[in-house]
């Protein structure tokens, strides 16, 4: 590419900044692969650079020792990776890059043992070759609709592609979503996710990929393979290089004016930083049953480097004379990846000579946190030792040398009650266990535990250890001095506002439903008090309400809990259940938590009966029709619409036990059962695979799980107890995790916590707690704005009325406009789903239905070019739109009519205008060609070319265009016909067409030559048919290689194509055989 804002304002500055950081630039070519150092566009490695690097970085006595054979082995290990899914191939390739590949050694070296070849010099960045290539063409497998892909920039380390960059013009609407969508096309992710039916790219380019970048200069995001748009992150800092230094190098006076592209390049793509990220800050995790690749966020990278700097340059206790100065505090908002920061820190420690021998002690103050953190820490690759008793802890700490030890030491063993015996045990003094300076203590939730006896014990046991405190909440102003005395000053801070802005967490929105308000349907609270205090005068009753409506005994009263449980369940059914999310209740006491379980079960059964008793005429009322109905009826209708899920709902209490307690608590305090229930709760409520779903939807707790509990499925927390300061911030953060399509976490306040939020947060500095909770009503202006953007989108392209459905749909046949509309529609529908069924959302429902209809009609017309709306919208809005389009006779679940369908002509005839008829046939033809191209690429490529010629010839003459397309559709429907070659048109002719096309590249194919080639084709197909009859042939790597070798030999022996072409043609024949497998084995 040259010229235009995308190149001049985005791509060129990107290249120039990379060059300034030490990258070598090569301008690519879409015509000549040799320009980029490759013999073929099918290659993704720049082998010249790779061979040169392998020789220069793998030395013996400072001299190269690798011969061509061993280098070929190392390269072959990278090129022969074969796994069923891209993520598995990427994991295998990344392991090779990190660990190297073993090859035969030399007889006179190390006893002839195998030696490991390293692809990258991780220790000396300057020894590697860093190359950026623009317009890097990679050919796709034969038969795909898209013959090749051309990423804007590909970054190579030693000839290995590790970063792919897609640039978009700063003026392009929705530039970042468009760039991410392009990256997903390149790696076939849209097909993997079921959004399209055909492959669109070449996954081999992404086997070794570490980072994907989408940029438009002002905005830039980084992601990993398989990531959706919401998982691409901005890199907003350049640490450990100061922003001021980066600005100076880029001749920018004000660091604040650096663009996100400039920050991302300086922070992530500086060679030393990129190597560091790949080596220490990248890992693979199992999330909801599938493997995902995780790369650190900028605050994690910054925090780890800050901690390493302290450890390397801070004074030890001996050097300081009083305190160890190598530690500090890392405050990263709850849900933003604090535990992973610990993992990255330990991995970084282990590669630094001065720190790799450190023993790491991780301390937390709750069992559930210990389970979670110890599981995450296993990602370091080390064995994690968990000290379950004091004696075991002393033994592990006293042992010299490295390791990772987990311990849980706290004031009274994590109970909800004050237990004197537990406190006394915690107060047991430790003797000096280990005086080494090479010990690092990581204290989780340092804001909570720093004042108890643990630290005195710890300091005595490990007097010379460095200490780093991690916290997910700000530190109380009055406690900052004490905390800093124990740990040292802040190493890094990442506040809530930053976390939400970066998409690391979702916003937290609150609703108040206090006892003086809507505990249940209108009069329930009054009736409850009248029953409980029947002997009181009205004046006394009113005084009692005011005094006790949010206090102890009343909050544990069964009738009060029943009323609130009834209201909670109905709120859940209206607002949360449609999204498939789960709930947590923070109860006043352990007794209240247990009583909530019973009350919720009764409330569920009551609501189920109400739903079943509904008049059939009311059962399918939509949100508009229900708007004027009483709340009781509204909830019953919504309950009926989710009746199967409602009937399955389960409820549990999670509380800690005490000695000699009432047996009624035993079911809920058993540790084994608690662990099992937590494991159940974090599973989705609904899943395509029933084994991965679980109906446990509510957990009622007193204090357990209010801190450190990581459950992205949790969408709402019902607060029914006093809760302040650090515990308040911890508790509400349970709902701020991303995932499961969640747009925001909801806090519903039955006690008055949010009402008294100002008081609760007064002990924090204002900047630390800015934006902690926002009222749900604050979303209304955002909804209004996003609705207007959609109207402006159509108006800006000449469509003043969105109810002109056909015109709107035709507008979306333009790919760029389609992408812009999709992003804007999703934003609008996401916000509407959050607001509904509240009355503020009702004015937007009519337009939402129409916009959903436009999308659905466009999807049917374009046949797979748009993902299902259901995959990207909330359940409430999805039902609204589905019901509307079905009522109009448009069922999104019914596949579009194909041109081979007997009713296709009649279907086209129903279209209201010649333009609509022509458009329907055009896109039906495109779909038909895409569907069949793999099985007969030559035939369908010719059909595709004729389609483009017809479209060009007739322009906007819709009558003539419709007639020409009708003729082409008739021809396409008949398929390939038998010709004078005598070959079977279904099983043999496609192979003949490919061989003839390839042979014609060298010279014309005369009739006699064609007859000879037809005979050879029959022989070749017969051989292929015999070989592929083996069960699971295409999963058998050895069998595939044998057949491919036989095809190559056949082509060479018979001189079907020149020798240098035979390899690529053999690949085409194998692709064709795979596409026609069913026909070949059936024949």
Summarised one tens digit per residue, pLDDT across range 132-144 is 999 999 999 876 7
Which residues, 6+ apart, have CB-to-CB distance to 463 below 8 Å?
317, 432, 435
Same topology between domain 296-502 and domain 508-598+649-772: yes
pLDDT band at residue 517 using 50, 70 and 90 as cut-offs? very low
pLDDT band at residue 1061 using 50, 70 and 90 as cut-offs? confident
Domain 508-598+649-772: which topology?
A: Rossmann fold (3.40.50)
Element (H, E) at 74: helix 68-79
Sign of CA dihedral 172, 173, 177, 181: negative
Please give the Cα distance from 288 to 693 (Å, whole number): 10
Which residues, 6+ apart, have CB-to-CB distance to 903 below 8 Å?
897
Q: What is the DSSP string of 954-970?
A: HTT-HHHHHHHHHHHHH
Domain boundaries, the chain: 4-283, 296-502, 508-598+649-772, 779-887, 904-974, 989-1082
Hey, what are 533's tokens? 């205090």
Hey, what are 282's tokens? 């990248």
Hey, what are 179's tokens? 């760039």
First to last CA, the chain: 48
* Strand 290-295 to 282-287 pairing: antiparallel
Q: Which of 740-754, 838-852, 858-872, 1056-1070 has the lowest mean pLDDT?
A: 858-872
Per CATH, the homologous superfamily of domain 296-502 is P-loop containing nucleotide triphosphate hydrolases (3.40.50.300)
Please give the Cα distance from 940 to 959 (Å, whole number): 25
Specify the 3-state DSSP secondary structure of 573.
helix
Summarised one tens digit per residue, pLDDT across range 907-939 is 778 777 888 888 888 888 888 887 888 888 888
Summarised one tens digit per residue, pLDDT across range 861-909 is 887 677 776 666 777 777 777 777 777 666 666 667 777 777 777 877 8
- Residue/partner pairs of 882-887 with CB below 8 Å, 24 or more apart: 883/620, 883/622, 884/622, 884/849, 884/852, 884/853, 885/849, 885/852, 885/853, 885/856
Specify the 3-state DSSP secondary structure of 294.
strand
377 versus 785: the higher-pLDDT residue is 785
Please give the Cα distance from 215 to 211 (Å, whole number): 13
Specify the 3-state DSSP secondary structure of 223.
strand
Summarised one tens digit per residue, pLDDT across range 191-230 is 888 777 788 899 999 999 999 999 999 999 999 999 998 8
HSE-CB of 299 using CA atoms within 13 angstroms: 23
Residue 544 pLDDT > 70? no
Beta strands in 17-114 (DSSP E): 24-27, 59-60, 63-64, 101-103
pLDDT given for residue 528 in this prediction: 43
Residue 32 pLDDT > 80? yes
Percentage of the chain modeled with pLDDT above 90: 42
């Amino acid at each position: 590419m040259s010229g235009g804002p995308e190149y001049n304002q985005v791509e060129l500055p990107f290249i120039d900044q990379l060059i300034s950081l030490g990258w070598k630039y090569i301008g690519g070519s879409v015509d000549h692969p040799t320009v980029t150092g490759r013999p073929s566009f099918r290659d993704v490695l720049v082998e010249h650079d790779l061979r040169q690097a392998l020789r220069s970085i793998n030395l013996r006595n400072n001299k190269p020792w690798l011969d061509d054979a061993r280098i070929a082995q190392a390269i072959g290990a990278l090129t022969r990776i074969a796994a069923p899914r891209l993520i598995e191939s990427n994991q295998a390739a990344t392991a090779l890059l990190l660990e190297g590949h073993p090859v035969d050694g030399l007889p006179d070296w190390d006893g002839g043992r195998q030696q490991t070849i390293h692809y990258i010099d991780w220790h000396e960045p300057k020894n590697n070759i860093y190359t950026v290539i623009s317009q890097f063409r990679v050919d796709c497998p034969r038969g795909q609709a898209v013959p090749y892909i051309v990423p804007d920039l590909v970054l190579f380390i030693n000839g290995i592609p590790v970063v792919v960059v897609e640039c978009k013009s700063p003026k392009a609407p929705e530039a970042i979503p468009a760039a991410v969508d392009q990256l997903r096309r390149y790696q076939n992710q849209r097909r993997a996710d079921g959004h399209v039916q055909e492959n669109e790219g070449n996954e081999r380019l992404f086997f070794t990929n570490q980072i994907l970048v989408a940029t438009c200069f002002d905005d830039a995001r980084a992601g990993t393979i398989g990531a959706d748009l919401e998982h691409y992150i901005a890199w907003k800092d350049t640490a450990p290089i100061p922003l001021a230094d980066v600005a100076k190098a880029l001749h920018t006076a004000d660091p604040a004016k650096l663009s996100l592209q400039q920050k991302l390049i300086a922070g992530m793509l500086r060679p030393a930083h990129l190597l560091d990220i790949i080596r220490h800050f990248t890992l693979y995790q199992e999330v909801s049953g599938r493997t995902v690749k995780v790369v650190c966020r900028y605050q994690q990278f910054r925090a780890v480097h800050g901690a390493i700097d302290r450890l390397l340059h801070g004074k030890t206790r001996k050097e300081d004379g009083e305190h160890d100065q190598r530690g500090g505090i890392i405050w990263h908002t709850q849900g933003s990846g604090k535990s992973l920061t610990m993992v990255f820190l330990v991995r970084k420690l282990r590669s630094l000579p001065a720190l790799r021998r450190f023993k790491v002690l991780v301390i937390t103050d709750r069992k559930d946190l210990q389970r979670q953190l110890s599981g995450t820490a296993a990602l370091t690759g080390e064995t994690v030792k968990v000290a379950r008793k004091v004696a075991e802890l002393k033994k592990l700490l006293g042992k010299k040398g490295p390791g990772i030890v987990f311990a849980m030491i706290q004031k009274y063993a994590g109970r909800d009650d004050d237990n004197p015996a537990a406190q006394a045990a915690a107060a047991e003094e430790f003797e000096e266990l280990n005086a080494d300076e090479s010990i690092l203590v990581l204290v989780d939730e340092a804001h909570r535990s720093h004042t108890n006896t643990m630290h005195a014990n710890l300091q005595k046991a490990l007097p010379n250890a460095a200490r780093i405190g991690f916290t997910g909440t700000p530190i109380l102003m009055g406690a900052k001095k004490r905390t800093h005395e124990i740990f040292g000053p802040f190493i890094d801070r990442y506040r809530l506002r930053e976390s939400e802005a970066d998409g690391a967490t979702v916003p937290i929105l609150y609703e108040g439903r206090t006892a003086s308000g809507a505990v249940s349907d209108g009069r329930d609270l009054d009736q409850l008090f009248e029953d409980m205090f029947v002997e009181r005068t009205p004046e006394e009753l009113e005084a009692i309400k005011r005094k006790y409506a949010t206090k102890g005994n009343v909050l544990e009263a069964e009738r009060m809990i029943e009323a609130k449980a009834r209201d909670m369940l109905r709120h859940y059914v209206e607002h949360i259940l449609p999204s498939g999310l789960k709930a947590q209740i923070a109860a006043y006491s352990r007794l209240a938590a247990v009583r909530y379980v019973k009350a919720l079960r009764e409330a569920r059964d009551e609501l189920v009966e109400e739903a079943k008793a509904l008049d059939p005429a009311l059962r399918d009322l939509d949100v508009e029709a229900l708007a004027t109905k009483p709340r009781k009826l509204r909830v019953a209708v919504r309950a009926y619409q989710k009746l199967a899920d409602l009937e399955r709902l389960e409820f549990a209490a999670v509380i800690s036990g005490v000695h000699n307690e009432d047996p009624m608590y035993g079911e809920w305090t058993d540790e084994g059962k608690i662990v099992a229930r937590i494991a159940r709760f974090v599973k989705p409520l609904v899943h395509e695979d029933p084994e991965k779903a679980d109906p446990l939807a509510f957990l009622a707790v007193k204090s357990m799980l209010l801190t450190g509990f990581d459950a992205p499925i949790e969408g709402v927390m019902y607060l029914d107890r006093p809760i302040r300061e650090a515990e308040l911030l911890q508790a509400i953060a349970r709902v701020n995790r991303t995932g499961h399509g969640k747009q925001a976490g909801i806090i519903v306040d039955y006690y008055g916590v949010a009402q008294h939020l100002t008081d609760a947060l007064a002990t924090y500095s204002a900047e630390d707690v800015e934006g902690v909770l926002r009222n749900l009503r604050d979303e209304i202006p955002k909804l209004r704005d996003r609705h207007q953007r959609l109207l402006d989108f159509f108006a800006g392209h000449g469509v003043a009325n969105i109810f002109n459905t056909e015109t709107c749909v035709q507008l979306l046949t333009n790919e760029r406009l389609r992408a812009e509309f999709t992003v804007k529609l999703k934003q609008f529908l996401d916000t509407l789903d959050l607001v509904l069924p509240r009355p503020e959302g009702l004015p937007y429902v009519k337009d939402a239905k129409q916009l959903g209809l436009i999308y659905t009609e466009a999807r049917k017309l374009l046949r797979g070019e748009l993902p299902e709306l259901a995959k990207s919208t909330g359940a409430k809005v999805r039902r609204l739109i589905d019901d509307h389009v079905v009522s109009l006779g448009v069922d999104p679940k019914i596949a579009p009519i194909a041109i081979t369908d007997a009713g296709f002509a009649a279907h086209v005839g129903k279209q209201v205008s010649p333009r609509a008829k022509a458009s329907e046939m055009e896109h039906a033809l495109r779909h038909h060609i895409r569907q069949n191209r793999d099985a007969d690429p030559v035939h369908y490529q010719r059909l595709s070319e004729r389609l483009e010629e017809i479209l060009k010839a007739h322009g906007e003459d819709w009558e003539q265009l419709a007639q020409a397309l009708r003729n082409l559709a008739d021809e396409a429907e008949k398929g390939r016909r038998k010709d004078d070659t005598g070959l079977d048109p279904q099983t043999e002719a496609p192979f003949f067409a490919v061989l003839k096309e390839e042979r014609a590249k060298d010279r014309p194919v005369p009739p006699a030559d064609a007859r000879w080639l037809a005979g050879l084709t029959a022989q070749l197909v017969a051989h292929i048919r015999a070989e592929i009859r083996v069960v699971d042939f295409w999963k058998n790597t050895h069998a595939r290689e044998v057949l491919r070798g036989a095809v190559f030999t056949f082509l060479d022996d018979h001189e079907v194509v020149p020798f240098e072409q035979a390899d690529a043609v053999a690949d085409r024949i194998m692709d064709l055989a795979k596409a026609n497998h069913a026909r070949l084995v059936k024949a």
